Amino acid sequence: MSKLSVYLLTSGFLLVLNGLTPAIAQATVTRIKDIQHNRQAAALHGLTEPILAQQEPTDSQNAAPSPTTDIATNPRPRDGFYFSVSGDARFVTKATISPIDAGISLSPGFGINSALGYRFKNNLRVEGEFSYGSNNVDEVSLPTIPGITTTVTNPAIPLTIANPITTPIPIAVPGFGTIPAGTTIPAGVVLNPGPPLTNATPINLGVFTIPAGTDLSALPGITTTGGVPGSTTTIRTPDIPAATLKVDGKITTISGLVNLYYDIPTGSRFEPYVGGGVGVSGARADNLSASYPGTTINYDISGGSTVFVYQLRAGVAYQVSDNSAVSLGYRYFNVAKQSFDVEPLGELEVDGLGVHNIELGFRYFF
């Protein structure tokens, strides 16, 4: 090969190498960065691997929560026996006393309730409840008393002979005989209103007696007094108007019921419930008296009776802990007809009472 050929080949190689040098340099830089990045990732992996290994769930962590799990992760309340106590505000509908149609309006009152119950695993609860309630009487509405019409019978005033009469001549009395002349008939003899004038009672003249019913119209100069016939007089007393009176007194109730509830599961601390119950209740009226204004007519209401009751309830409970809860609810309490002593009328019935309650309670599981 000639020197000229060697020179040309060497020059061409250098030119090619010069054109490739920037690309080779850039590739070299990229490679160095990749090596540095991989080394950093490996170093970080070595640091984080123990931490991640600790955070990975274990079989025991994946298992179902135990009964002692905190209420925040397992808010379902316990099953079994529980005790509850509550207080409520009571609003009673107006009561009517039959048959006098008197009304009793009661102010808002209060109630205290306690119960012992058992909760089943199917969210049903059954309990026995004892409660006491009291409402002051606000007003008594007395109806109008119609006036009374009375008929008075006035007795007749009979005729009487005003002055003694001496017969100047004999008087024949049919069926009796003859009254001799000169016979004196005394004043005051009672005569039947004529005509004819007859004596209402026998006339004793000593030696003989003129029987009752004898016609005396033939006697001369008879003057009489009285003689008012019998009559009747109608008297009507005025109506006594209706009155609404502010009175003192109260009505209390003591009740025993059996209740059944269903707790609606929500998977949270809040658990609504619905239910109802039946039982008996004794109501009593104390110091309840009302009088018509301006009269002496007064009604005293006292005593009471024990009757059937039922109630409907709904509300929501909040789980404070795994064995306690507070609740806020509504209760409708219905009392059947009952009897009170109403003086001077005797024992009268009171229409059924409807009681609306807003209650706040606490429940504790044993």
Phi then psi for residue 167, to 5 deg, are -75, 125
* 340 part of a folded domain: yes
What pLDDT, on a 0 to 100 scale, did the predictor assign at position 345? 85
Shared domain for 170 and 277, answered yes or no, is: no
Closest CA to 254 of 364, 119, 149, 130: 130
* 72 part of a folded domain: no
Shared domain for 220 and 136, answered yes or no, is: no
Query: What is the pLDDT averaged over residues 156-166?
Result: 82
**Res 186 pLDDT > 90:** no
Greater confidence (88 vs 75) lies with 88
Greater confidence (214 vs 316) lies with 316
Structure tokens belonging to residue 276? 């109802």
Helix (H, G, I), strand (E, B) or coil at 120: coil
What's the sign of the alpha-carbon dihedral 15, 20, 24, 25?
A: positive
Work out the burial of residue 284: count CB atoms within 10 Å of its CB; fewer than 13 is exposed, 13-18 middle, 19 or more buried. middle
Task: Please give the Cα distance from 185 to 161 (Å, whole number).
Answer: 9
* 294 part of a folded domain: yes
Shared domain for 264 and 317, answered yes or no, is: yes
What pLDDT, on a 0 to 100 scale, did the predictor assign at position 175? 67
| DSSP string across 134-180 | EEEEEEEEEPPB---EEEEEEPPEEEEESS-EE-SS-EEETTTEEEP
Query: What is the pLDDT averaged over residues 330-345?
Result: 88
Shared domain for 94 and 201, answered yes or no, is: no
Closest CA to 100 of 267, 347, 280: 347
Structure tokens belonging to residue 13? 């190689």
Helix (H, G, I), strand (E, B) or coil at 239: coil
What pLDDT, on a 0 to 100 scale, did the predictor assign at position 303? 85
Structure tokens belonging to residue 1? 């090969």
Q: End-to-end CA distance of the chain: give it in Å, rounded.
A: 112
Query: What is the pLDDT averaged over residues 221-249?
Result: 85
Identify the CATH number of the domain in which residue 251 sits: 2.40.160.20
Query: What is the pLDDT averaged over residues 150-171?
Result: 83
Last residue of one domain, picked from the residues 234, 267, 301: 234
* Omega of the bond leading into 99 within 30 degrees of 0 (cis): yes
Residue 288: CB atoms within 10 A of its CB come to 19
Secondary-structure breakdown of the chain: helix, strand, coil percentages, each rounded to the nearest 5: 15, 55, 30
Structure tokens belonging to residue 37? 């990045």
Shared domain for 12 and 56, answered yes or no, is: yes
pTM of the model: 0.58
Last residue of one domain, picked from the residues 204, 234, 264: 234
Shared domain for 41 and 130, answered yes or no, is: no
**Res 116 pLDDT > 90:** yes
* 121 part of a folded domain: yes
Number of domains in the chain: 3
Containing H/E element for 116?
Answer: strand 109-119
Shared domain for 333 and 247, answered yes or no, is: yes
**Most confident of the ranges 81-90, 137-146, 156-165, 345-354:** 81-90
* Matching residue, tokens 């007749």: 156
* 70 part of a folded domain: no
Containing H/E element for 348?
Answer: strand 346-350
Q: Decide: 84 and 115 in contact? Cβ < 8 Å.
A: yes
169 is in which domain, residue-wise? 156-234
* 71 part of a folded domain: no
Residue 156: CB atoms within 10 A of its CB come to 13
Least confident interval from 36-50, 113-127, 274-288: 36-50
What pLDDT, on a 0 to 100 scale, did the predictor assign at position 88? 96
Last residue of one domain, picked from the residues 62, 89, 112: 62
Shared domain for 299 and 356, answered yes or no, is: yes
Work out the burial of residue 333: count CB atoms within 10 Å of its CB; fewer than 13 is exposed, 13-18 middle, 19 or more buried. buried
* 67 part of a folded domain: no
Shared domain for 293 and 352, answered yes or no, is: yes
Least confident interval from 36-40, 120-124, 133-137, 280-284: 36-40
Shared domain for 134 and 247, answered yes or no, is: yes
Confidence of residue 256 (pLDDT cuts 50, 70, 90): very high
Task: Please give the Cα distance from 293 to 144 (Å, whole number).
Answer: 12
What pLDDT, on a 0 to 100 scale, did the predictor assign at position 73? 52
Shared domain for 274 and 139, answered yes or no, is: yes
Greater confidence (53 vs 166) lies with 166
Shared domain for 304 and 164, answered yes or no, is: no
* 75 part of a folded domain: no
Task: Please give the Cα distance from 273 to 62 (Å, whole number).
Answer: 32
* Matching residue, tokens 């004892």: 130
